[in-house]
Amino acid sequence: MFIGTTSKFPSTDNTAKFCNLRVPCTCRRSYGLFADIQLHTGRIMAKDIATRAENYPEWYNDLVLKAGLADYSAVKGCMVIKPYGYAIWENMRDVLDRRFKDTGHQNAAFPLLIPKSFFSREAQHVEGFAKECAVVTHYRLMNDPDGKGVVVDPTAKLEEELIIRPTSETIIWNTYKDWIQSYRDLPILINQWANVVRWEMRTRLFLRTTEFFWQEGHTAHATAEEAIAETEQMLDIYAEFMENFMAVPVIKGRKTESERFAGAVETYTVEGLMQDGKALQMGTSHFLGQNFAKAFNVQYLSRESKLEYVWATSWGVSTRMMGALVMVHGDDDGLIIPPRLAPYQVVIVPIFKNDEQLALITEKVNEIRKALQAQGIRVHYDARDNNSPGWKFNEYELKGVPVRIAIGPRDLEKGTVEVARRDTKTKEIWEMATLNDRVAPLLEEIQTSLYNRALKVREESSHYADDYARFKEIIANEGGFVYAHWDGTAETEAKIKEETKATIRCIPLDAPEEDGVCIYSGKPSKQRVIFAQAY
């Protein structure tokens, strides 16, 4: 399953064999797409989270809020990313940042505020972002002359209004203009980790918020070929990250003209499929051609002493990936964080009756913890005495910690521990002495298993449709990706969107050539594209 890079964990042939102890009193109904059907027992739900089958959007919200990833803020459309959620984002960020640097990119920081006039330079770009820009018009407040509070000082109106960046192409190209004179200045390979603001009508935690965090890479090249290669390279890095670290299978493809980034010549995308059968665009990489170079007059002298416009790319992934992580792996008991991104890969819960017992257990745990940490495993020991072990078990399941180790007096006597894995909800007893050799392979096994499970769900939710009636039926009833022929026109795409709410997620890069006819217009087509309803 892993494309490319070698595993951070030792490779595993030591597949842990878990006895399949079902937890009594679970009351979650299994979501239909999963094989491990659990019957609803009718008990009141202790965790008080919606099930996926009942109400998927509510389930998603419950998980984000109750697992402590994020919270609503006092500001409409904006959220607070809480420490546990931010820790996952940091792990994502660190992996990607390493990839970027390994491929020659450097980080930099550009202004949050962009002069309004910059936006009018590239026609497509303005059109795409005009409707969702926050505008700064004044620079000073004053005491309200009529009483309490403060008001905007009307005399402090800005000469030129400033836009809070919805993306940074304009300010960056305005800057690159001064950095580039000769082919010797190229390529410029820069990334920035930043927040951006897009004034959306409707928001959803992580998936669509007014302010969000992301990285945006902006590169300048001497040739179109080189810029296209960069665009593809970054798309590959995203896909590799999503599959190997997020354990989310993605499809790489090109966007149709109507779904393309405002100002791009070509937009590449990585598309994931969520458990409810809706698609999520998880990252994009754009070949910008010379559009921004021309708009900002960025030219260089070539080796042949000719003045040429530079070629550009931009690429980004955002905190939206957090939403994918929740929606692809979570179950009715809570999150399931893939080990490679989990802030805590292992949680150790002591079971004790008194301080003396706890002291003995802690002593043992410290040895275990130290040894695991020496292998680079992130271990959390929860010795709080204000929550029962059962409470902690549920809590860490909600938070999606991949592996839980419980140690009690009986274990101390016998030299054992109870090891539970989150993804399968199974437990078994291990010899304490074997932890060192078995935990890392187990984490790797979970990582692989999560990917395979997600891949299976995606495959089971992928359909072929050869006529429009069947197409509509799939979209309406089953959801998922629908591979279908399309005549290549924006009109057809728009009609289908209007009638079914499904859009063309991408024209997959690896799709075979295949003669067919458009499901809508009946006109000839040479390859299938992927339709789905999307977030």
Which spans of this chain sit near RNA (rule: CB under 7 A)? 23-25, 46-47, 57, 61, 72, 74-77, 131-132, 198, 200-204, 207-210, 212, 259, 261, 281, 284, 318-320, 333, 351-354, 385-395, 397-398, 406-412, 417-418, 420, 425, 427, 501, 535
CB of 512 to RNA, least distance (A): 26
Distance (Å, whole) CA 113 – CA 184: 30
Distance (Å, whole) CA 105 – CA 189: 5
By C-beta, is 224 or 412 nearer to RNA?
412
Give the torsion through C-alpha atoms of 38, 390, 341, 28, to 10 deg.
Answer: 20
Query: And the tokens for 531?
Result: 């339709």
> Other CB atoms closer than 10 Å to residue 400's CB: what's the count?
28
Q: How far is CA 373 from the centre of its chain?
A: 27
Q: Report which secondary-structure segment, H or E, holds 327.
A: helix 320-329
Distance (Å, whole) CA 482 – CA 466: 10
By C-beta, is 90 or 428 nearer to RNA?
428
CB of 407 to RNA, least distance (A): 6
Q: Report which secondary-structure segment, H or E, holds 411.
A: helix 409-414
By C-beta, is 172 or 407 nearer to RNA?
407
By C-beta, is 115 or 389 nearer to RNA?
389
CB of 430 to RNA, least distance (A): 10
20 to 239, 358, 392, 511: CA distances (angstroms): 33, 29, 21, 40
- Amino acid making up residue 81: I
Distance (Å, whole) CA 284 – CA 314: 8
CB of 48 to RNA, least distance (A): 7
By C-beta, is 188 or 475 nearer to RNA?
475
By C-beta, is 202 or 303 nearer to RNA?
202
By C-beta, is 1 or 141 nearer to RNA?
141
Distance (Å, whole) CA 421 – CA 345: 10
CB of 386 to RNA, least distance (A): 5
Distance (Å, whole) CA 315 – CA 313: 7
CB of 506 to RNA, least distance (A): 11
CB of 405 to RNA, least distance (A): 9
